[in-house]
Amino acid sequence: MTDEGTRRPLHSDPIGGLSMSFSMSQGLSFVQLVLRLKTDGLPEDEQIALLQQMIFFASRSDEDLRIALESEGIEIASSLFTKTSNKRIKQLCIGLIGMIGQLGVEDEQKDGWVDLYIPLSKLLFSSDNELQRRGKNSLINLIERNENVVSGLLHIGLLDRAAESLMRIPLSSSQQQSSILPMTSSSLQISSSSPYSVFVMNILEVLDKVLNSENAVFIKSNKLISVLEKIKTERSTKEIRKKAKFIQDSVIEEGQDNETEKQLDQSKEKIISLEDRIRTLEEQIRNKDERERIQQQEKIDSDQQIIRLNQQIEAKENENRQVKSRLASSEEKVQTLEQQSHDKDIRINTLTQEKANIERQIQQIQEQINQNNNRKEILTREMTQSELNVLESKLNIRRLQLEKIQNNKIIEKFQSEKTSIKQRQTTAEGQSRILTTLNTQKDQSINTLTREKTQLEQKITTAEKLKNVDFDKIARNLKKNIEGNEDQKKKIRYKQEENCSLISALIENRIDDDLRQRIINAGISQALIEMFAYRDFDQINDSHMNAYIDITYPYTPLISQLLYEQKPFQSLLRVLDHNDSHIVDTAIGSIVNILYGIVMESNRVCVHPYYTDLAQIGGIEKIYSLFKRNISEFSKSTSAITIGVAFRNREIADYSMKVEIINHLKQTVNHQNEDMRKEAKFALRCLVQNYVNRTEIEKGGFKIPD
């Protein structure tokens, strides 16, 4: 299917979703990152990007680390850890928590939950009250969400580690210069708001939550029993003493006997090893994130450079097109002038021949007149002179007529001869007209032969080109991905566009199924379809689309079937979302050419054989959406024709679609373009085979024109 002005349109590295999300989040504060991470239904790739940015933010300085702590970084990371099953997200949560607490560990042979318990327990035993509070809250939240956490905490030696921490109670610098005060140095009662009370109470609350869980199976810790006894008797608040007694009773009553201290030592060694390991991995994560940031920035710079180069190339191409247009116009003018010069030469030759014929006739007359007297010879010479020039002959005739009046007696003697001369002159004029007619016919024959010669030369040129064209090589070139350095990418794009332009030059509007079949069998059309399916739109331009639509038109059942077997509809439907209206026109034109070609000679009563494949991939809705977008007159009319042909002898069930498509086709039968009128009529004849469609078509007394 083609349209002179529209069927052939006026012959145009992406950043992945994760990188795009990361670059977008770089301008946000840590608080904004936390709020964004709390959003329900957030995609995993964006969660990863946000966690990476939070880790990068927290690693910049101690001040940023403090901001991360105060912005609930630990709480949101531990909450997300419990919700997700994504291993990468779990690792990032652990890394963030460990970084904020200046801790970290990861054991690749353990469950991911254990990776979370150790840094959180370290936070619980931190000398920083705020850091300890957040570690306590995170652990309690984990236990409330999943009681299996209790087993993990007990497994890493939470009871003994708590006992060791309680034996060394941290005090602020205002209380004493030393940050560690042994339990035996207690003296006065400490208030419930003192750092000591807060530190002890936070640990006791977590121990209470762990030991009172149904899943709590633990070994009796003599260290913990001993330290709790000291807390009960020395400088503690009533609430702390009460809590310590309750926990001590639970440990004594429910704890199992410790069979060996070796297991405890092994656990400690594992903890130390894991701590060293997570510090190493934490550094690797920071280095990796920094490399990713640098690579992303380099990619952004590279993309911007590509855009600038493309703009320069486009400007150069526009300039070349203008030069070519001016050159073509100049060539046309030269050809016109050459043709005019040639026509003038032919007319001059004709006039020269006519002049020679007249001169011969006059010479014969002169021979007869020479037999008369001198006066007759003078008249004969004057008559001969008048025949040499049409204008001069008229003047001579007038002079002869004057002389005739003055010399009536003499002229009467030669009247009969003069009459004979006039008859001969009339005969010569008739012959001249015949020669003019013959020359006109000869010019027409010359023009016809010239056109045939030009067509023959074009065929010879095309045949010579075809001898040198390697269609298999073109197909391989079109299948290449745009990759490598910038110079290599530019060469690949240029070569592919050059190949597509060659295909268009060979087959555009040419009726040659054998040549098209060679192109299809070589894999060129399949390579273009794969290009339309996977490439970004900025890498799909007019030369690619022109080559494909030239393969589809002029359409025939054979070509349509060969193209249909390559399953082109999904890829062509994707191109309908291109931002270039000319490329959209070419894509919908290619679809309707394939649909039109297979049914142009078949039984109209049958349904369209390609309808099911088109409908199953949402093609009908996609084409109807293009119709409603009204991008161009061509795309709108062609979309309506496409739906009409696809629904041959099949009811359009969607009432709105049926009314809009049929009304538009009824208007298009009066289109100024002959091909558009013809195809609109064909689409209506396809629809009218169904009774429901026919009722809508015949509303208002409408009849499909012949």
Tokens 């509809």 appear where? 569
Q: How much is the pLDDT for 590?
A: 97
Structure tokens at 653: 């069930």
Mean predicted confidence (pLDDT) in 384-409: 58
> Using 50, 70 and 90 to split pLDDT, how confident is the model at 696?
very high
Q: How much is the pLDDT for 362?
A: 74
Q: How much is the pLDDT for 585?
A: 96
**Partner residues linked to 62 by β-bridges:** none
Return the closest-CA partner of residue 563 out of 551, 578, 550, 554: 551
Q: Give tens-digit pLDDT for 481-494.
A: 999 999 999 999 99
Could you tell me how many helices (H) and strands (E) the chain has, helices first? 32, 2
CA–CA distance, 507 with 340 (Å, rounded to integer): 33
> Using 50, 70 and 90 to split pLDDT, how confident is the model at 369?
low
Run of H or E residues at 169: strand 168-169
CA–CA distance, 307 with 310 (Å, rounded to integer): 5
High-pLDDT (> 70) share of the chain, %: 73
Taking CB atoms within 8 Å and a gap of at least 24, the contacts of 254-259 are 254/211, 254/216, 254/218, 255/218, 255/219, 255/220, 255/221, 256/217, 256/218, 256/219, 256/220, 257/219, 257/220, 258/219, 258/220, 258/221, 258/222
Q: How much is the pLDDT for 160?
A: 81
Q: Give tens-digit pLDDT for 649-663.
A: 999 999 999 999 999
181 SS3 class: strand
CB 589 within 8 A of CB 638: yes
Q: How much is the pLDDT for 604?
A: 60
Q: Give tens-digit pLDDT for 166-223.
A: 887 644 333 343 333 344 334 345 566 778 788 888 888 888 888 887 767 777 778 8
> Using 50, 70 and 90 to split pLDDT, how confident is the model at 409?
low
- The larger pLDDT score, comparing residue 443 to residue 679, is at 679
236 contact partners, CB below 8 Å, separation of at least 6: 189, 190, 197, 200, 244
C-alpha torsion sign, points 463, 467, 471, 477: negative
Q: Which amino acid is at 134?
A: R
The least confident of 53-62, 205-214, 345-354, 414-423 is: 414-423
124 contact partners, CB below 8 Å, separation of at least 6: 132, 135, 136, 139, 162, 202, 203, 206
DSSP E strands: which ranges in 461-544?
A: none
Tokens 């060539």 appear where? 331
- The larger pLDDT score, comparing residue 567 to residue 278, is at 567
The total of other beta-carbon atoms located within 10 Å of residue 283's CB is 12
Task: Look at residue 392 and tell me whether its pLDDT is greater than 60.
Answer: no
Q: How much is the pLDDT for 184?
A: 39
Mean predicted confidence (pLDDT) in 612-633: 95
Return the closest-CA partner of residue 624 out of 634, 612, 635: 635
DSSP characters over 5-30: TTTS-----PPPHHHHHHHHHTTS-H
Task: Look at residue 587 and tell me whether its pLDDT is greater than 80.
Answer: yes
Return the closest-CA partner of residue 100 out of 282, 271, 287: 282
